[in-house]
């Protein structure tokens, strides 16, 4: 058995309950894939997107309806070491990915302000554009369960709003295009365990601005890392189910018990229906 076949086997055997099952559950529960979809699986080079590519390969073998998959590595300007690691991994994993070079890092790096915001926006736009040129109607990104709960907390603590990372959404700028997140129910620690068990090494951070400063794959001093640590403290000192509860809260909003909300850009207040309820 080739190494990539052993890695594939581990997904549906050793990690079936931790990776394959939640992947399938998310695909079905959120209706992420439909017949005749053409999906661009976007590989950043990290553990999550590489696993996602392998899960899609497995799904193609077992799906009861037809859909197409393209595997894309959009290179925003990785340094040579990171790019070589990505190439090595797609070879080890037997992923037929196309690598397309762009100058996003260079453009963002020349800006004095909001470099990270600009870079993220340009990368997302580039993925939509490249995917559409490939004839795809969806792009798949490797955000997982932990990204979801961290996003909820980050928005509450830093932006003063309650909103999360949805499992799918329509593009505002590219008609007919949709973004899906098939790893939505997969835990990050399970991805790490799978990578370690298969002796796989992935790039820690793809960003040029932070690639020289990372700890265990996380950008040092970032808000996301601070949020991860906060969640761990809450689990230790408050409730072991805190992660599950944060995730559940996003689909268990009691509209009768909130002060206000925003829908389609329009703000609403509990006062609008308050007197009617009396």
Domains of the chain: 3-216 (3.40.50.620)
* Across 43-58, average pLDDT: 97
Helix (H) or strand (E) holding 28: helix 21-29
- The predicted-structure confidence for 70-98, as pLDDT tens digits, reads as follows 999 999 999 999 999 999 999 999 999 99
User: Which token pair is 216?
Assistant: 């265990």
- The predicted-structure confidence for 224-245, as pLDDT tens digits, reads as follows 889 999 999 999 998 899 999 9
Residue 210: the pLDDT is 52
- The predicted-structure confidence for 3-36, as pLDDT tens digits, reads as follows 999 999 999 999 999 999 999 999 999 999 999 9
| Radius of gyration of the chain from its Cα atoms, rounded to whole angstroms | 20
- The predicted-structure confidence for 123-170, as pLDDT tens digits, reads as follows 999 999 999 999 999 999 999 999 999 999 999 998 999 999 999 999
Distances 39 to 26, 35, 53, 93 between C-alpha atoms, Å? 16, 11, 11, 19
Q: Above 90 in pLDDT, residue 99? A: yes
What percentage of the chain reaches a pLDDT higher than 90? Answer: 78
Helix and strand counts by DSSP (H, E) for the chain: 11, 10
* 93 backbone dihedrals φ, ψ, rounded to 5°: -85, -5
pTM of the model: 0.91
Residue 131: the pLDDT is 97
Distances 45 to 87, 136, 205 between C-alpha atoms, Å? 9, 21, 9
Q: Above 80 in pLDDT, residue 112? A: no
| Pairing of the two strands 168-170 and 178-180 | antiparallel
Residue 9: the pLDDT is 97
Residue 115: the pLDDT is 72
Per the prediction, the chain carries an average pLDDT of 91
Q: Above 80 in pLDDT, residue 196? A: yes
Nearest to 106 by CA among 145, 126, 65, 78: 78
């Amino acid at each position: 058995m080739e190494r990539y076949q052993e890695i594939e086997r581990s997904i549906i055997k050793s990690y079936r309950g931790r990776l394959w099952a939640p992947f399938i559950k998310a695909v079905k529960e959120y209706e992420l894939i439909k017949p005749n979809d053409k999906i661009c699986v976007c590989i950043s080079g990290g553990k999550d997107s590489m696993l996602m590519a392998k899960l899609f390969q497995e799904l193609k073998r077992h799906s009861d309806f037809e859909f197409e998959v393209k595997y894309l590595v959009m290179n925003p300007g990785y340094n040579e070491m990171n790019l070589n690691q990505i190439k090595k991994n797609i070879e080890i994993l037997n992923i037929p990915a196309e690598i397309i070079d762009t100058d996003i890092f260079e453009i963002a790096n020349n800006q004095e302000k909001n470099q990270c915001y600009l870079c993220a926006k340009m990368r997302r736009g580039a993925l939509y554009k490249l995917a559409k040129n490939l004839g795809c109607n969806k792009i798949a990104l490797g955000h997982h369960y932990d990204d979801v709960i961290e996003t909820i907390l980050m928005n509450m603590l830093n932006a003063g709003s309650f909103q999360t990372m949805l499992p799918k959404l329509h593009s505002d700028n590219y008609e007919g295009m949709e973004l899906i997140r098939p790893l939505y129910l997969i835990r990050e620690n399970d991805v790490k365990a799978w990578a370690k068990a298969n002796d796989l090494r992935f790039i820690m951070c793809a960003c040029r601005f932070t690639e020289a400063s990372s700890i265990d794959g996380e950008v040092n001093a970032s808000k996301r890392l601070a949020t991860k640590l906060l969640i761990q403290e809450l689990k230790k000192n408050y409730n072991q189910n805190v992660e599950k509860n944060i995730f559940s809260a996003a689909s268990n909003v009691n509209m009768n018990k909130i002060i206000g909300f925003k829908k389609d850009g329009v703000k609403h207040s509990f006062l609008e229906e308050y007197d009617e309820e009396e």
